[in-house]
Chains A and B, each alone.
Chain A
Amino acid sequence: MNVATHRSDTNFATQAQAQTAMRLLLIEDDLEAASYLVKGLRENGYTIDHSADGRDGLERATSGGYDVIIADRQLPELDGLSIIIELRKNADRTPVLILSALGTVDDRVHGLKAGGDDYLTKPFAFAELLARVEALSRRASTHATETTRLKVADLELDLLARRVIRAGRNIDLTAKEFQLLEYLMRRPDQVVTRTMLLEGVWNLQFDPQTNIIDVHMSRLRTAIDKNFAKPLIHTVRGAGYMLKTPEAA
């Protein structure tokens, strides 16, 4: 939520801006919704093209050069899944975020099976979209490297020894807290939303009615930040959390 960016001091969108602008393609037939998305994404530093139907969308997508494609599930001419299937047939691995108003289990499963990389059910908070687009664009730029050791500032996480050390001090975490921290440390300086954490750490896709993730995060936070001067875990209001390197703050 842009609101949050402004009111809290964390301007999490600037990371994308700082590098050469990411190019996005939005394929969405709801013109009003599309115009808001285009506007919002531009303000957050993305270069964005919009296509209002499936066939045109596929043409643009195949012409290449996009870092992330955001495609609606239901489109005139050619639906979102067909676009992904076409792209994948041509060995085009551009990350695709599927937007869907249906939001059923099947759609999600079908969407991801067809080769989609992430799935977002309408309506969604803009912050959620932004966080996921950013995650996808990062994934596209940094090719997944197999590491056994993650390091953010003075925080180190050893995946093999299942150990967490901050400034030379050992930190005891439960298995779930360890997984949470790993998820965050794999995405440093990125907004991670609560639903992303639910999906990534618990493998659950549902809309929590309570602040259930916050309770877990506050525990993790106590363990990681309590006895140290500079906090690493930050709340991004209206969006989620961010593990931030102090230099980037």
Chain B
Amino acid sequence: MAQPTFRLSSARLAALYVIIFAVGVVSLLTAVYFLTARVLDREVDAVIQAEVNGLVDVYRQGGLLQLIGTLHRRADSWGRTGAVYLLANPDGSRIAGNIARWPSQVVANNQWLEFDIDATERGQVVSHPVRARALALAGGPTLLVGTDILERKRLASRLRNAMFWCASLCVLLGTTVTSIYSRGVRRRISSIALTCETIISGKLSQRLAIENTKDEFDELSRTVNHMLDRIQQQTEILRTTFDSAAHDLRAPLYRARVRIEETLQHANIPGNARDTMEATLLELERVQRTLGTLLQIAQAEGHGRELSAEVLDLAALTHEIVDLYQPEATQRGITLTARTPDTAALRGSRQLLAQALVNLVENALKYVPQNGHVVIELNNEPDEIVLSVADDGPGIPEEDRERVLQPFIRLERDRANTGSGLGLSLVAAVMRLHRATMELLDNHPGLIVRCRIPVSRAD
């Protein structure tokens, strides 16, 4: 059955959606994060720049003392804003400011820089990241203006965390929702496929379920059901026509036969008239037989009927039939052999399979010339039994192989033959009934008929 493919494609679709969704969410959040971080950075930088500009102006206008005074005045707000100031001598010693020494790694070249300084908070040394700008003032001292960015970094990391959880939640949610949805799709597709399988196996009265979800599936199911209604109608007409034709033909044929038998028994009939009547009787028998085979094909095709299945051993059946036809083959100078495993168990109709085997053997014996070979082979494979009937007769040209499986199709070369042209089509019908595949292959030279009969679990 084709179900695994559906499962795969709907799962693949779900996975694809989740991936696209995840990529979208993650890139959106990343963009938000970086934009936020940049805005914060700019704000910090703008404040520092304004401070630097202000302090440089103070220095220019009021000199060193004025600057020291301003720095001292700002002292009360230092702790609150986390601002970092340092005015130092060229040797790094502090003139004014709230850090003890000029940090060794900082060069006063008017560049943005970030470094860590250690501060003592409640008796503990905590390393604080600082973003700052340092520049050399005219006349020697160096100025460092910065800001403690610990809070900002914490904010960024919180933001990152929040975004990570947010993204994870989104992906989880996406996966759950899509998998539920795709399971729903899968369930409906499987149920449609399952129903179709049942219909294919002959239950033409089955219909797809309408779930009143008013979606595309309901629409599709409705259309398919409409189609099935039409097909069933047509088949029904054909079937009743066929059945009544067959029935109406059977009774008169039967009576005609009985009448001739009767007449032959009683009347004093001259020899040649008797011969004609007996020949007619044989013709009638042939018509009856063809009719019988047609009915059998129709029955095997199933009118939606269940096969009365029994567990049987196809190997034993094959040997019975080979045994039955062995003398006939010998008489025709044909070697008939069976190669089978000890057992080949399957569920099926013994009578129909026997009829199919017989038709295959008779067909082969009919066409194989003297000194020819007919080999029936059975092989047990994991889920099926492979039945091959191979001969080294004339074979069937490739373009005709499909055709000969249809009723009444006979090849041009067989026109003179008496066969009904139903033999192989009955085999095909029996095989279809057993859900088997049947193919005609080239035996170089000759014909191989290969049937793969699934072994339905005998439970």
User: Is the beta-carbon distance between B261 and A1 smaller than 8 angstroms?
Assistant: yes
User: Is the beta-carbon distance between B254 and A206 smaller than 8 angstroms?
Assistant: no
Which of B250, B325, B362 touches A123 (beta carbons < 8 Å)? B250
Which residues does chain B contribute within 8 Å of A121, judged by CB atoms? 292
Stretch in A65-73, A104-112, A182-190 with 4+ CB within 8 Å of B: A104-112
Fill in one digit per residue for B288-300: 1 if any A CB lies within 8 Å of its CB, else 0.
Answer: 1100100110010
Given contacts A2-B261, A3-B261, contact A206 B351 (CB under 8 A): yes
User: Is the beta-carbon distance between B351 and A176 smaller than 8 angstroms?
Assistant: no
Which of B288, B320, B349 touches A204 (beta carbons < 8 Å)? B320
User: Is the beta-carbon distance between B250 and A215 smaller than 8 angstroms?
Assistant: no
A103 to B299, CA, bound (A): 10
Q: Which of B261, B285, B328, B331 has the most CB of A within 10 A?
A: B261
Given contacts A203-B320, A206-B351, A206-B354, contact A123 B265 (CB under 8 A): no
User: Is the beta-carbon distance between B254 and A209 smaller than 8 angstroms?
Assistant: no
Asked if A140 is at the interface (CB within 8 A of a chain B CB), the reply is no
User: Is the beta-carbon distance between B351 and A33 smaller than 8 angstroms?
Assistant: no
A1 to B352, CA, bound (A): 28
* A: number of interface residues (CB 8 Å): 39
User: Is the beta-carbon distance between B251 and A216 smaller than 8 angstroms?
Assistant: no
Q: In whole Å, how far is A191's beta carbon from the nearest beta carbon of chain B?
A: 15
A208 to B325, CA, bound (A): 11
User: Is the beta-carbon distance between B308 and A106 smaller than 8 angstroms?
Assistant: yes
Q: In whole Å, how far is B285's beta carbon from the nearest beta carbon of chain A?
A: 8
Given contacts A3-B265, A30-B251, A204-B320, contact A123 B327 (CB under 8 A): no
User: Is the beta-carbon distance between A204 and B354 smaller than 8 angstroms?
Assistant: yes
Within 8 A of A (CB), among B38-54: none
* B: number of interface residues (CB 8 Å): 40
Asked if B153 is at the interface (CB within 8 A of a chain A CB), the reply is no
Given contacts A106-B308, A203-B320, A216-B327, contact A122 B351 (CB under 8 A): no
Which residues does chain A contribute within 8 Å of B345, judged by CB atoms? none
Within 8 A of B (CB), among A12-55: 30, 32-33, 36, 39-40, 43
Within 8 A of A (CB), among B244-284: 247, 250-251, 253-255, 257-259, 261-262, 264-265, 278
Which residues does chain B contribute within 8 Å of A212, judged by CB atoms? 324-325, 328
Asked if A141 is at the interface (CB within 8 A of a chain B CB), the reply is no
Asked if B355 is at the interface (CB within 8 A of a chain A CB), the reply is yes
Chain A residue at minimum C-beta to C-beta distance from B247: A101
Q: Which of B278, B288, B324 has the most CB of A within 10 A?
A: B324
Asked if B358 is at the interface (CB within 8 A of a chain A CB), the reply is yes
Within 8 A of A (CB), among B157-187: none
Which residues does chain A contribute within 8 Å of B265, judged by CB atoms? 2-3, 5-6, 43
User: Is the beta-carbon distance between B262 and A207 smaller than 8 angstroms?
Assistant: no
Chain A residue at minimum C-beta to C-beta distance from B285: A125
Which of A6, A39, A105, A216 touches B351 (beta carbons < 8 Å)? A105
Which residues does chain B contribute within 8 Å of A1, judged by CB atoms? 261
